[in-house]
Amino acid sequence: MKIALLAAALSLAAPLRAETLDVASPQLALAVDEPAFTATRGKLDFADTGTGPDGAPYVIHEVIPADETFEDWKTLFAVFIEDDLALDFQAYVGQVVRVYYLSCVDEPDIQVLGSSGDTALDLTIYCRAYRDDPSTGELAQFALRRSGDDFARVYQHWRLPSDTDLGPWMTERIPEFSHFWDAARALTLTEID
């Protein structure tokens, strides 16, 4: 599959430099490189805290290019932290992936790029077309992490026309993909006492 070719191409990409995005919940903190697009396109930020439907507190920080809007973004980078989730890691991953099975016209293409037992999983998900907008699809990268009962996901999404030829589209974005996975490999969670 074309997504599998991405892994080979990533090793050839030159690293991009970015600022660090620091995000913290009451119990967990992480620092991650901002997305590659911030160096050339600027950025807009959105941050929020709250309580999820299961009663777990969360914090989210989203970043999009400055020339896009949150109502109609094409590229989105985010950090989402949830504290005190009564889930094991497999169930947490299942919740993330389930969204794509419910949202995509066809079964999503999911590629696991790395795993570390029940504490870390890196994956790419391709949805050719959304059920509610068949002319639009999505490619997403996720770095999912767990520390005790606290979970963090760092992710980047690209919305694209459903008829996009993924080969050339992904080739243009190899530096962005590489930057994301370099940041994911360096990602560490810090428990807050």
- pLDDT band of residue 18 (cuts 50, 70, 90) is low
pLDDT, one tens digit per residue, over 57-88 is: 999 999 999 999 999 999 999 999 999 988 99
Percent of the chain with pLDDT over 70: 91
Q: 60-83 as b/e, with b when 16 or more CB fall inside 10 Å?
A: bbbbbbeebeeeebebbbbbbbbb
For residue 16, what is the DSSP state? P
Q: What is the CATH number of the domain that holds 35?
A: 3.40.1000
Task: Residue 11: give the domain boundaries.
Answer: 2-191
Strands (DSSP E) contained in 52-89 are 57-64, 75-82
Structure tokens at 31: 């620092």
CA dihedral angle for residue 175, residue 29, residue 64, residue 105, rounded to 10 degrees: 80
Q: What's the pLDDT score for residue 10?
A: 39
Percent pLDDT > 90 in the chain is 65
pLDDT at 9: 42
Q: What is the pLDDT of residues 91-122, one digit of tens each?
A: 999 999 999 999 999 999 999 998 998 999 99
Mean pLDDT of 181-190: 86
Domains in the chain: how many in total?
1
